[in-house]
Structure 1
Amino acid sequence: MSGKNAEYEKIWDEVYGHDRDPIRMNVIYPLLEVEFTKLTGKKILDLGCGNGSLIRQIQKYNYKSICGIDQSGEFLKTAKKNIDCRDTKLVQSNILEKLPFENDSFDSVFAIFVINELPLLYNMFCEINRVLAQEGCFYIVMTHPFLLLRNFLFEKFTGKKNEKFIGNLNYKNKKPMKYILSTAEVSTPFFQYTFEDIINVVNNTKMEINKLKEIDTSSDLLKEHLKYQAEKNVPKYLYLKLTKKISVDHKL
């Protein structure tokens, strides 16, 4: 998560905070647990680390080092309170620009609910490819491409306004929208990416898909959260595990 202003960051932390987001804690992190167990000896980058929620989870396992990067100084201040900083580095930098790391710096990169905040998907994937070591893994969790279409159909057939998105709900819309944060009166920019967009950017940046999973909210761990039960079998999130292809130079 990459903060956009102090008000948004403050309310986001109040609503979700570390270890309080039910989707991350009951769906996303359990899904990633099998990958966390494979991080022994790995150098890890958390892209858009926000308040350190993912880093806090990874620190329960074995790894070599972790670096969290976010453009929000406010989020990073909160992250320092939430994590063990002895073997973790936090960097404030604009993740839309060139990442402040050398080539092949990391074995694993995580981007959890960050992709839909980025207007230049190709540029970011190129940068991830650059900082990833050969055969390194890029883990992505993002909004499901069809979720916007679902909200469009909801408005069309019910005549009611959806409560999450402001803007053009066309599936192939390339203009930024606004995503409303929970029940709070703040929003963050949202960029829609189709399955075509995702597959093309993966291929064009010399990565390959190792795993793809459509995520719904049917987990038993979410039973007490009633707002997720009405459409619990509708995929709302997308998980991708990508691998950097071995270059010709490294094969020789």
Structure 2
Amino acid sequence: MKQNKYDDAGFFANYSQMPRSTGGLEAAGEWEVFRTLLPDLAGQRVLDLGCGFGWHCRYAREQGAASVVGIDLSANMLERARAMTDDPKIEYLQLAIEDAAFGAEQFDTVISSLAIHYIEDFGSLCRQVRHCLKPGGAFVFSVEHPIFTALAAQDWHYSPDGEKQHWPVDNYHLEGLRLADFLEHKVAKYHRTTATYLGTLLHSGFGLKQMSELQPTPEMLEKNPAWQEETRRPMFLLLSAVKQEQPDLIS
């Protein structure tokens, strides 16, 4: 299913108040690690899947990217992105990630930030990305960690006095749709195991370069003590892969 939750007025209003929505990349806790996974973007043709407000698109151009295409299904997201962008080398398209059908070897780098867990068929997406990447091109993305997505509630187990006791995990190997509670709304997300993310990439003709489960650093904890709870369980999974010169292994 293709979900356009961000064009729901109430949901978008709540999302617009999040720190990452008002403060940009520096307010996104995973950004410090995410950018270390990116290749040198100078002269690159970049595609951003689920570009949102366009923060990553503008960063790519700041790093010297030759051109950037950002796609998003949400008209609200793209309206905000265009209002914040003054750069003819950045093009925004209203398009579902599942419908992205770009030309062969059209891009040097494909990125995606916290959008792919909304996509049901990760294998199909990997094949699409591989098709539009040049040989050796990079595919760098972040998703909610499978430990985080296994249960739809996506919340701690609390003691009677409200103390966060532990993060419950159940049905981990039962992949598929989860109707998660997010920003006071039910949102459709798709749970996959870590093995599925890695295996699908490899069998789709990618080579894995780097992987991070985002363990908070002392600097992150000093900057934002709330990150302390992220030492108890991973919230994000970040992967960097490259297109290998071999046929697709998934038909």
TM-score after normalising by structure 1: 0.81
The corresponding residue for 1:196 is 195
Query: Which residue identity lines up with residue 245 of structure 1 in the other structure?
Result: Q
SS in structure 1 opposite 2:16? helix
SS in structure 1 opposite 2:137? strand
The corresponding residue for 1:20 is 23
What aligned pairs does 1:28-177 form with structure 2 within 5 A after superposition? 28-34=30-36, 38-97=40-99, 99-148=100-149, 154-155=156-157, 169-177=170-178
Q: Deviations over 1:21-77 (max 9, x none)?
A: 68x635433224345571111100000001112223223211110000011111100
Query: Which residue identity lines up with residue 130 of structure 1 in the other structure?
Result: H
Contact 2:145 2:236 in 1 (8 A): yes
Query: Which residue identity lines up with residue 29 of structure 1 in the other structure?
Result: W
Q: Deviations over 1:127-154 (max 9, x none)?
A: 1111111110000111122234697895
Query: Which residue identity lines up with residue 232 of structure 1 in the other structure?
Result: T
Shift of 1:219: 4.8
Q: Percent identity?
A: 18
Distance 1:169 1:234, change over 3 A: closer
Query: Which residue identity lines up with residue 133 of structure 2 in the other structure?
Result: L
Contact 1:216 1:236 in 2 (8 A): no
Cα distance in 2 for residues equivalent to 1:219 and 1:21: 22
Distance 1:65 1:147, change over 3 A: same
Contact 1:37 1:61 in 2 (8 A): no
Contact 1:3 1:75 in 2 (8 A): no
Shift of 1:84: 2.8
Contact 2:37 2:140 in 1 (8 A): no
Cα distance in 1 for residues equivalent to 2:191 and 2:218: 26
Q: Deviations over 1:185-219 (max 9, x none)?
A: 12421111102211221122111101111103345
Distance 1:152 1:40, change over 3 A: closer
In the TM superposition, structure 1's runs of 4+ consecutive aligned residues that sit over 6 Å from their partners are 150-153
Q: Does 1:9 align with 2:12?
A: yes
TM-score after normalising by structure 2: 0.81
Distance 1:118 1:26, change over 3 A: closer
Cα distance in 2 for residues equivalent to 1:25 and 1:158: 30
SS in structure 2 opposite 1:172? coil
Cα distance in 2 for residues equivalent to 1:14 and 1:186: 15
Distance 1:231 1:61, change over 3 A: closer
How many residues are treated as equivalent by the alignment? 238
Shift of 1:96: 1.5
SS in structure 2 opposite 1:74? helix
SS in structure 2 opposite 1:96? helix
SS in structure 2 opposite 1:102? coil
Shift of 1:3: 4.3
Query: Where in structure 1 are there 5+ consecutive unaligned residues?
Result: none
Query: Where in structure 2 are there 5+ consecutive unaligned residues?
Result: none
The corresponding residue for 1:244 is 243
The corresponding residue for 1:206 is 205
